[in-house]
Amino acid sequence: MFGKPSRTSRTLQYLALAGYLIFLGFPLVWLVSTAFKPPRELVRLHPTLIPSDPTVQNFVQAFTEQELGRAALNSLQVSLASAVLTVLVAMPASYALARFRSKLGTAALGWVLLSQLFPFVLLIIPIFLVLRQVGLANTHAGLVLIYVVWALPFALWMLQGFVRNIPRELEEAASVDGASRVQVLRRVVFPLLAPGLVATALFSFISAWNEFFFALVLIKTPELATLPVALARFVGIEGTARLGPLAAGSLLATLPSLIFFAFMQRRLSSGSLAGAVKG
């Protein structure tokens, strides 16, 4: 592996890599290509990989005729609210988890792992009943609540890693210099925690943006549907010519998470997230 590999093994390695690139890449290329194809090219008997007459008409149509625009707006509202709320709620708790030893903290993190085991079907019925009791079923507020609760465990875990990365000595030095507790938090901890807060907010935003099951079950009014649910409904409408707007909408729905991953990858490589990863 580290000596000079023979020519045959190198060739085999490149062949394998090419296989992976085709498997991973071609479906993506197909989605992009379909999104830019005009209707008459979509119904053609033998479709081509590259659209011969590319158009942005599908994007326009997806957002005007198919109500994906409203769904995208709904998704944006719900995801933004989830992101802000998650950060606000997780911030004090993650500070406590990182700076003080507490059995409660261990229990909370244990719950994170345990909750992975349970299928959503088991939770959704009681959650639905609870939300209905307080009048939040079929509302965006109810959905936001659920998203915050489900993003919280991971957000806590991630954020307390960021807090741990801030040297305690910095806080001590500031208070030796006469800074009050509030000042220490505001002037020392908060600025250093900013990247962590951004990462947590983005994580919460994306999990809400991508979520499908809870949105499908909890939101009954079509006007309130989020983007994944609207897209899934759109799939039900058959007809080959409809594939264009569907692909266009799907492409746009992917953009936020792509941006998130690009952001996170840079963070990962710069090491600022190392603490969060190691826990």
Partner 1 sequence: MTTLAERPDVERAGPARRPSRFRSDRTAIYLLLLPSLLPILVLSVFPLLRGIYLGFTDARAGRNVEVSFTGLANYRELLGDELFWNSFKIGLLWAVGVTVLQFLLALGLALLLNQQLRFRGVARVLAVVPWAMPPVVVGILWKLVYHPDAGLLNEFFHRIGADGLRTNWLGDFSTALPAVILVGVWAGMPQTTVVLLAGLQGVGRELHEAAAVDGASTWHRFRHVTLPALAPVIVAITSLDFIWNFNSFGLVYVLTAGGPGGKTMLPMLFAYEEAFRYGNYGYAAALGNVMVVLIIALLAVYLRRRLREAN
In the chain the beta strands, taken as DSSP E runs, fall at: none
Task: Please state the separation of Cα 132 from the chain's center in Å.
Answer: 27
d(CA 255, CA 278): 28
The span of 53-61, 64-72, 119-127, 195-203 binding partner 1 (CB under 8 A) equals 119-127
Q: How many residues bind partner 1 (CB under 8 A)?
A: 93
- Residue closer to partner 1, measured from CB, 17 or 73: 17
Cα-to-chain-centroid distance, residue 219:
20
Which of 166, 231 has the CB closer to partner 1?
231
Q: CA 17 to CA 246: how far, in whole Å?
A: 31
The piece of 17-25, 53-61, 64-72, 191-199 that touches partner 1 (CB under 8 A) is: 17-25
Locate tokens 């990962």: which residue? 268
Q: Is residue 239 within the footprint of partner 1 (CB under 8 A)?
A: no
> In terms of Cα–Cα distance, which of 185, 165, 184, 174 is closest to 92?
185
Closest distance of CB 58 from partner 1, Å: 12
Considering the rule CB under 8 A, would residue 246 count as an interface residue with partner 1?
yes
Residue 253 CA to residue 59 CA, distance in Å, equals 12
| Closest alpha carbon to 207 in 85, 66, 63 | 85
Q: Taking the complex as a whole, how short is the minimal distance between the CB of residue 237 and partner 1, in angstroms?
A: 12
CB of 56 to partner 1, least distance (A): 18
Residues 42-81 that bind partner 1 (CB under 8 A): 42-47, 49
- Residue placing its CB nearer to partner 1 in the complex, 198 or 217: 217
According to CB under 8 A, which residues from 77 to 106 bind partner 1? 88-90, 92-93, 95-97, 99-100, 102, 104-105
Q: Residue from 62, 127, 193, 276 that binds partner 1 (CB under 8 A)?
A: 127
Token pair belonging to 272: 């600022």
Residue 187 makes contact with partner 1 by CB under 8 A: no
What span, in angstroms and rounded, lies between the C-alpha atoms of 156 and 201?
Answer: 11
Q: Which C-beta is closer to partner 1: that of 78 or that of 148? A: 148
Encoded tokens for 69: 């625009």
Q: How far apart are CA 189 and CA 196, in angstroms?
A: 11
Q: Closest distance between partner 1 and the C-beta of residue 118, in Å?
A: 6
Q: Which of 224, 243, 273, 276 is in the footprint of partner 1 by CB under 8 A?
A: 243
Among 11, 64, 106, 180, binds partner 1 (CB under 8 A): 180
Query: Distance (Å, rounded) from C-alpha 187 to C-alpha 50?
Result: 54
Q: Binding to partner 1 by residue 232, rule CB under 8 A? A: yes
3-state SS class at 136: coil
* Closer Cβ to partner 1, 64 or 106, answer by number: 106
**What is the closest distance, in whole angstroms, from the C-beta atom of residue 245 to partner 1 in the complex?**
11
**CB proximity list for 153: less than 8 A, separation 6 or greater:** 108, 109, 111, 112, 115
> DSSP letter string over 26-48?
HHHHHHHHHHT--HHHHSSSS--
Is residue 270 close enough to count as binding partner 1 by CB under 8 A?
no
Place of tokens 């594939």: 243
Instruction: Give the tokens for residue 163.
Output: 């807090």
- Does 235 bind partner 1 (CB under 8 A)? Our answer is yes
Pick from 36, 157, 205, 209 the residue near partner 1 by CB under 8 A. Answer: 209
Amino acid at residue number 22: I
